[in-house]
Amino acid sequence: MSISKTNTSKQSLFKLLFLVIILLILISLYALKSIPQNLGNNVLSPFIEPLKKTLRIKSPEIHPDSTGGVIIHSTPGPQFRQKFILRKELPIDNDSYTLVYDYNNLQYIVALKKPYQESRNKFIEWITNNYPGISPEEFVFVNQS
């Protein structure tokens, strides 16, 4: 007798639990239908609109170069590669000049040794032959005493 009472009480408990779950589902569905679809937009609108204005991303301004055209660099050219390679080889010191890179001012410094003009000509010949993409005008020449 106790086994049959246990089975019926389990069945009753299961039926009650099933009804409670169904009831909770129906209540939650009814609650979702009663919420207006645009409630989220109306409630957050006073906060979102100022954010939209302050977070607006503007397109970068494009400034033309001195000739009126726009400068667009897509990939580094041979001049960039040659400057990179030259910078890795520095300092260069020989009988005519010393070549270093000044990282504070972002420029190459050529310290010419006596005779200055002859040393300058040797440097220009060397840079033209070895790094044709780099113009000699990009170097700062100083006379070394």
At 12, is the secondary structure helix, strand, or coil? Answer: helix
pLDDT tens digits, 87-122: 999 999 999 999 999 989 889 999 999 999 999 999
Strand partners, 64: 70
Q: What is the pLDDT of residue 43?
A: 52
Q: Which helix (H) or strand (E) holds 3?
A: helix 2-34
State the pLDDT confidence band at 7, using cuts at 50, 70 and 90.
confident
Choose between 91 and 60: higher pLDDT.
Answer: 91
Task: Answer whether residue 15 shows pLDDT above 60.
Answer: yes
| pLDDT band at residue 30 using 50, 70 and 90 as cut-offs | confident
